[in-house]
Amino acid sequence: MIVSVTPELGIDVGRNFAGGLGVLEGDKFYAAARLGVPYTVITLWYPGGYVAYRFENGEAVPVEEGNVEEGLEVVGEGEVAVRGEKVAVAYLAYRLNTATAVFVKVKAPEWAVRAVQQLYISEKEADRFYRYVILAKAAVDYVERYIGWDNVRYLDLQEAYTALVPLVKRHARARIVIHTPAPWGHPAFSKRFFKEEFGFDMAMDPVVLTEVGLAASVEGIVVSKKMVGLVCNAFPHFCHKIRPVTNAVEVPRWEHPKVSRVKSPEELRKAREEVKREALRALGVEAEGKVVISWARRITHYKRPHFVLQLIEDVDRDVVFILGGRAHPQDGYGVEMMKKFKEVANAAANVYYFPQLDIDTIRKIIWATDIWLFTPFSGWEASGTSFMKAGINGVPSVASRDGAVVEAVRDGYNGWLFGEDRPVLLPLDSRDVDEREYAEFKKKVEEALNSYYGGEYWQVAYNAYVTFRQYFSMDRLFRDYHYKE
């Protein structure tokens, strides 16, 4: 049995994810079910989901997204000791073939219920800390009750917040998976929390959870080859443990059935044109006979949503833009970008904005798109998977040289590349870098549009279709994780 513990999980039941990590872990769940791999993924249940927005007088106002338990079954209940009190939990499960998704629903006491109300939304450091203590202790309790540690082949800890699990129960084949090179991927807490909760008088203060996870794990997995150097630079004393397993997507989950077996650029063109019409109609987007360019993902500074806003002003072509994504309510830059996305969509007939990117909407946007935009500030994106989901459908990207892009995309062959391939975290306010790279980005978008109008586009699209379905498939990822041997 593979056991994975994750802060979020995006499957087709409930609304329990914020972005790429949750969707990735959902893809692993579906891949395990398809491949017959015994797999259990454990996460918290957030009654309020993540965050949604309503726009009032031009302002983006955050509200609870809400969540639904339909499709889940209660498989058991338990108690874990946290903060010196008994925390009552119920285990909600969704099963598919050999895969089980387990959601830990906190029932009492009130402070614990409040701590897990919304994903990644909390005002107090204590709430954030105890939220993940509950996840760690409940995950251990579930394994002991329903799986048995002798049956656990690998214990995979997704992101640093799950690094508390080894403080509750050590496992000889625990592995921490680091999903971001950015500083927020390495949360830290005052040592007093560890003294009060676990009785450990930690040597460092504050305690960096990634450090704990790497120390307690047999290896640290990073999600692209490029990330090895970045993580080794941050944690050089653990570099001997770092191994890359580049992210992937579950192809059957993201491909449109009509493109699943095309054998040539011409077959792809015919299939994609039909798929595009269907998706545009479902989204309510008017783009008949026009090129569709899309930027849709979590909105935050390093992903550079300002690039597409500037592009909308600068491109003098008859194209349609689809924008998508939401920001964390405490991310001032991201919330401001949401307002600007909304403003331009209201003002321009050729711009559409979808703030709420649920799984179904993401799929439709990909299927409606001709040119996908992937614009992170090089060095800051761990991997990225949106360009993979587009590519397996034969939708090529104009992409910065970051994350997993550099492993598979060749400029002019299966996509278009711009910018530097930087192995360091330069400051995000490096205006000279942004200006230089925007100029190259705009040039590459023009190149992609010329390719579309000139007919060469469909060979590039087909090359993306073929290469991405091989390299970025979950089948390859499962082999690299040693799930399939």
Which CATH number do you get for residue 309?
Answer: 3.40.50.2000
Q: What is the pLDDT of residue 485?
A: 60
Same domain, 422 and 398: yes
Q: Does the model's pTM come out above 0.85?
A: yes
Same domain, 74 and 168: yes
248, 280, 295: which is the final residue of a domain?
248
Same domain, 357 and 392: yes
Same domain, 461 and 449: yes
What's the sign of the alpha-carbon dihedral 77, 80, 86, 89?
Answer: negative
Examine residue 323 and state whether it is found in any structural domain, yes or no.
yes
Contacts of 62 (CB under 8 A, 6+ apart): 51, 52, 53, 329
Examine residue 485 and state whether it is found in any structural domain, yes or no.
no
Give the residue from 85, 192, 190 showing the smallest Cα distance to 137.
85
Examine residue 275 and state whether it is found in any structural domain, yes or no.
yes
Same domain, 306 and 415: yes
Tally of structural domains, the chain:
2
Examine residue 484 and state whether it is found in any structural domain, yes or no.
no
Residue 64: strand pairing partners: 51
Low-confidence ranges of the chain (pLDDT < 50): none
228, 248, 268: which is the final residue of a domain?
248
Q: What is the pLDDT of residue 429?
A: 87
232, 248, 264: which is the final residue of a domain?
248
Same domain, 233 and 319: no
Examine residue 182 and state whether it is found in any structural domain, yes or no.
yes
Same domain, 49 and 193: yes
Same domain, 20 and 157: yes
Domain that holds residue 443: 251-472
Examine residue 85 and state whether it is found in any structural domain, yes or no.
yes
Contacts of 178 (CB under 8 A, 6+ apart): 159, 160, 185, 210, 220, 221, 222, 223, 227, 231, 382
Same domain, 67 and 111: yes
User: What is d(CA 262, CA 268) in angstroms, rounded to the nearest whole number?
Assistant: 6
